[in-house]
Amino acid sequence: MIDTPRLVDQYCHGVLRTELGLGTFESHLAPAGAPAAAAGTTFFDTQTGFAVRRWCPPLLGLEPHCPPARYLARRRELGVLETGRRLLRASGITTYLVDTGPPGDLTGPAELAATGEAAAHEIVRLEPLAQQVADTSGTVDAFLANLADAVHGAAAGAVAFSSAAGVRGGLAAVPEPPGPGEVRGAAGRWLARRPAGGPVDDPVLLRHLLWVAVGAGRPLQLHVGDRDPGSLAGFAAATGGLGTDLVLLHSYPHHRQAARLAAHFPHVHADLGPVVARTGARAAAVLAEFLELAPFGKLLFSSGARALPELHVVAAGVFRGALSRVLGEWVGDGAWSRTDAQRVARMIAEGNAKRVYRLA
């Protein structure tokens, strides 16, 4: 009914290039940072696991819901490259925005694009960029100058910036940009105590980094995690009218607050992806909650997928099914017109992302 032939995946990572055993595969079904499944349980017994078993086996010539071991055997038989090709090309994702920041031996944007026969663009994560600059700058002055250069230079080639540490790093407490003296002091102390390769963990520096990025004019994606995005209202107010869009990532279970911020601030947008992808059979219900207060021009599909092309495929399939079901019901009830529903579906699937990221 509701048709979304092309998806822009506005936030994802690359995939692994190595063959995977059952245990390694299972570990990538877990939420980020989870140490292991409990004894007597498996991460296959989750909505993510069940969704992978629903959507992926048929793309490799197997029955849906076949046992994990059978799926993994078939995956190895085809090889990681051919598996990736079959899965990604069936996803309907025509553009990937790829966060290349987190470490891991994953395919970059170009390789993901080639595998998936799609376009791909880079999202530059701010914290690793700052760490690289720190590694190669001898003084505080050089570090701060090089940092500004690096961010503005990255803006030329990247489609967006992302920040994982910014939200936890005290952004909620003080939304305004720190003053030059404060930044110099914080940079000096951080550089002095920092072990080689150490992370940016100073709250003043993190705020400075975000404000440098705001000045570079690219959309800024903020990992909200399971924090209440209401705590970002101050930062949203402070950055309004500057011409830089904010995109809130991963706000579940506070996604209604993310939608509310998107309604209140013209430059704030809400990402749908990993939430919808991780909740499988429940995706329509979660998606519908986003659609309560958020203006329809402010919601963006993404997969949030990482390491397994199965996760890109599942996100796309689950999202499409959920969107079609939710909007289709509203059309059936007479609450929405079919024309509006189709228009909104394409906005969320690709149009909003094309506008926000100025994609061709």
CB 80 within 8 A of CB 16: yes
- Preceding omega of 68 cis (within 30 degrees of 0): no
Near its own copies by CB under 8 A: residue from 10, 46, 115, 251: 46
Determine the Cα–Cα distance for residues 100 and 154; give it in Å rounded to an integer: 12
DSSP letter string, 174-241: --SPPPHHHHHHHHHHHHHHPPTT-----HHHHHHHHHHHHHHTS-EEEE-TTS-GGGGHHHHHHHTT
Q: Give 27 or 131: the residue with its C-beta nearer to its own copies.
A: 27
Q: Give 194 or 264: the residue with its C-beta nearer to its own copies.
A: 264
Q: Per-residue x/- mask for its own copies, residues 285 to 304, rule CB under 8 A?
A: xx-xx-xxxxxxxx------
Q: Give 182 or 340: the residue with its C-beta nearer to its own copies.
A: 340
As a residue count, the chain comes to: 360
Near its own copies by CB under 8 A: residue from 278, 306, 312, 320: 278
Q: Report the Cα 110 to chain-centroid distance in Å.
A: 18
Q: How far is the CB of 296 from its own copies (least distance, A)?
A: 4
The count of other CB atoms within 10 Å of the CB of residue 200 is 23
| Residue 13 region by backbone torsions, left for phi larger than 0, else alpha for psi between -120 and 50, else beta | beta
- The DSSP bridge partners found for residue 160 are 123
> 218 CB contacts (<8 Å, ≥6 apart)?
155, 158, 159, 160, 161, 244
Q: Give 90 or 204: the residue with its C-beta nearer to its own copies.
A: 90
Q: Give 78 or 288: the residue with its C-beta nearer to its own copies.
A: 288
| Of the candidates 118, 156, 150, the residue with the CA atom closest to the CA atom of residue 133 | 150
334 binds its own copies (CB under 8 A): yes
C-alpha R_g of the chain: 21
Determine the Cα–Cα distance for residues 177 and 171; give it in Å rounded to an integer: 10
Burial class (CB in 10 A: 0-12, 13-18, 19+), 89: middle
244 binds its own copies (CB under 8 A): no
The site for its own copies, by CB under 8 A, has a size of 64
Q: How far is the CB of 255 from its own copies (least distance, A)?
A: 9
Q: Give 208 or 320: the residue with its C-beta nearer to its own copies.
A: 320
Q: Give 80 or 172: the residue with its C-beta nearer to its own copies.
A: 172
Near its own copies by CB under 8 A: residue from 30, 80, 106, 172: 30
Near its own copies by CB under 8 A: residue from 120, 344, 345, 353: 344
Determine the Cα–Cα distance for residues 356 and 360; give it in Å rounded to an integer: 11
Q: How far is the CB of 55 from its own copies (least distance, A)?
A: 10
Q: According to CB under 8 A, which residues from 61 to 120 bind its own copies?
A: 64-65
Interface segment toward its own copies; rule CB under 8 A; list 11-19, 35-43, 147-155, 204-212: 35-43
Q: How far is the CB of 298 from its own copies (least distance, A)?
A: 7
Near its own copies by CB under 8 A: residue from 156, 192, 197, 226: 226
253 binds its own copies (CB under 8 A): yes
The count of other CB atoms within 10 Å of the CB of residue 1 is 12
Q: How far is the CB of 31 from its own copies (least distance, A)?
A: 5
Near its own copies by CB under 8 A: residue from 68, 256, 346, 359: 256
Residues in contact with its own copies by the rule CB under 8 A: 30-31, 33-43, 45-47, 50-51, 53-54, 64-65, 226, 230, 240, 252-254, 256-257, 260, 263-267, 278-282, 285-286, 288-289, 291-298, 330, 333-337, 339-340, 344, 347, 355
